[in-house]
A and B are shown apart, each in its own frame.
Chain A
Amino acid sequence: MECVFGLVGDGFALVAADTSAVHSILVHKSNEDKVMILDSHKLLGASGEAGDRVQFTEYIQKNVHLYEFRNGIPLTTAAAANFTRGELATALRKNPYSVNILLAGYDKDIGPSLYYIDYISTLHKVDKGAFGYGSYFCLSMMDRHYHSGMSVEEAIKLVDQCIMEIRSRLVVAPPNFVIKIVDKDGAREYAWRESIKDTAEVSAA
């Protein structure tokens, strides 16, 4: 029931993901951040088996940082996407990771881009993408309302429409979502959309 979706707008790209960590019928937590900030100008939204997700995305993040330390310049989004795909492809026929990834980034001379990498390492550059059961609703909403060169306000409105659709139509809909954005000023958290807040810590009596 995990949903990750993203789209490219005018000078920015954004990735939204649900924030529930689920084990069979139990929801462990509803504020799990599944969109990792890879480096200053890249976002990695991942969905799939929990252990693989955290392990693989951290591995990619550390390798992206290592490249920047060694070479003094950061990887381009396309290079990071191809590196991620290569790692998934190499592991595919040995001990595969089941993680679906949407990699969004901003490069100075190329602008914003979004890469769809599924769990069997199919790589494709897209304008809009989605994973999970939520994708059935998000992709249709985006097909209808998306156009290239959307402003941030229009894009967030579309993201909210997608979230509304998931919440109302998906049987075990995740209650909370996180939205992160990347543009020329960097990658950062944009907003949370919470309908269930975790209760505050109860102090020991």
Chain B
Amino acid sequence: MVGKNCFAIASDRRLGVNLQTVATDFQRIYKIHDKLYIGLSGLATDAQTLYQRLIFRHKLYQLREERDMKPPTFASLVSAILYEKRFGPYFCQPVIAGLDDDDVPFICTMDCLGAKELAKDFVVSGTASESLYGVCESMYKPNMEPEELFETISQALLSSVDRDCLSGWGGHVLLVTPTEVQEKTLKGRMD
């Protein structure tokens, strides 16, 4: 979700195999650099493989260009990497959030084939995405301050995952402003 000169990215913490929950502390949001985060929902193994490939590409980019990748550039990179596997895709739906030039927040989501969807307010992905769309649409207001944004995204996440049996077991929220990053763990319905 986008706020005033800041963004927040949140995920649930369940690692499961169909109906069985394997772990309740699974990390789904990964840091690319200080002002760029990617959340990968979907098949855990593909999320891990994709994350390793993206970090590899970003490190090479850093060595060549001597600076961090800008969020829109990174989004195009993710899109290209996903489309490379058009006929044997990575089964993940990424959510990318970052601070662009002049600390303008940038968010986008993609399907598993790399179809980019830019938005100015919020983006969602995962098994509870329909729920999330509904809740975010009603709770979102433009230009929220960091504290209010954090509150809104946490409530949105918790209410949506409560209605989805495959998501939940707590939440993980990262609030990124130009000066700092706040990472918080949410305790929701543990079921």
A complexed with B: yes
CA distance A10 to B26 in the complex (A): 23
| Contact residues in A for B20 (Cβ distance below 8 Å) | 135-136, 139
Would you give the shortest CB distance from B48 to chain A, in whole angstroms? 6
CB pair B22 A120 closer than 8 Å: no
Would you give the shortest CB distance from B119 to chain A, in whole angstroms? 29
Q: Quick one: closest A residue to B44, CB to CB? A: A122
Main secondary structure, interface of B, reads: mixed
Q: Count of B residues near A, CB < 8 Å?
A: 12
CA distance A191 to B36 in the complex (A): 50
CB pair A116 B45 closer than 8 Å: no
Name, among A89, A118, A122, the residue most crowded by chain B CB atoms within 10 Å (CB to CB): A122
Name, among B17, B20, B45, B49, the residue most crowded by chain A CB atoms within 10 Å (CB to CB): B45
Q: Report if A89-B15 is in contact (Cβ < 8 Å); known contacts: A116-B23, A129-B22.
A: no
* A121 CB within 8 Å of chain B: yes
* A124 CB within 8 Å of chain B: yes
* A21 CB within 8 Å of chain B: no
Would you give the shortest CB distance from A121 to chain B, in whole angstroms? 5
Contact of B15 among A93, A121, A124 (CB under 8 A): A124
Q: Quick one: closest B residue to A92, CB to CB? A: B45
CB pair A118 B88 closer than 8 Å: no
* B43 CB within 8 Å of chain A: yes
A-B CB pair tally, cutoff 8 Å: 34
Q: Report if A122-B88 is in contact (Cβ < 8 Å); known contacts: A135-B20, A136-B20.
A: no
* A152 CB within 8 Å of chain B: no
CB pair A126 B48 closer than 8 Å: no
Residues of chain A in range 83-119 having any CB-CB distance to chain B below 8 Å: 85, 89, 92-93, 116, 118
CA distance A124 to B47 in the complex (A): 12
Would you give the shortest CB distance from A166 to chain B, in whole angstroms? 16
CB pair A85 B48 closer than 8 Å: yes
| Contact residues in A for B49 (Cβ distance below 8 Å) | 89, 121
Contact of A116 among B22, B43, B48 (CB under 8 A): B22
Would you give the shortest CB distance from B23 to chain A, in whole angstroms? 5
Would you give the shortest CB distance from B189 to chain A, in whole angstroms? 16
* A123 CB within 8 Å of chain B: yes
CA distance A4 to B26 in the complex (A): 21
CA distance A139 to B20 in the complex (A): 10
| Contact residues in A for B17 (Cβ distance below 8 Å) | 118
CA distance A136 to B20 in the complex (A): 8
Can you list the 5 inter-chain pairs with the closest CB atoms, starting with the nearest? A122-B44, A122-B45, A120-B45, A121-B45, A124-B23
User: Which residues does B use to contact A, with CB under 8 Å?
Assistant: 15, 17, 20, 22-23, 26, 43-45, 48-49, 88
Cβ contacts A to B, 26 pairs, < 8 Å = A89-B45, A89-B48, A89-B49, A92-B45, A93-B88, A116-B23, A118-B17, A118-B22, A118-B45, A120-B45, A121-B45, A121-B48, A121-B49, A122-B15, A122-B43, A122-B44, A122-B45, A122-B48, A123-B45, A124-B22, A124-B23, A124-B44, A126-B22, A126-B23, A135-B20, A136-B20
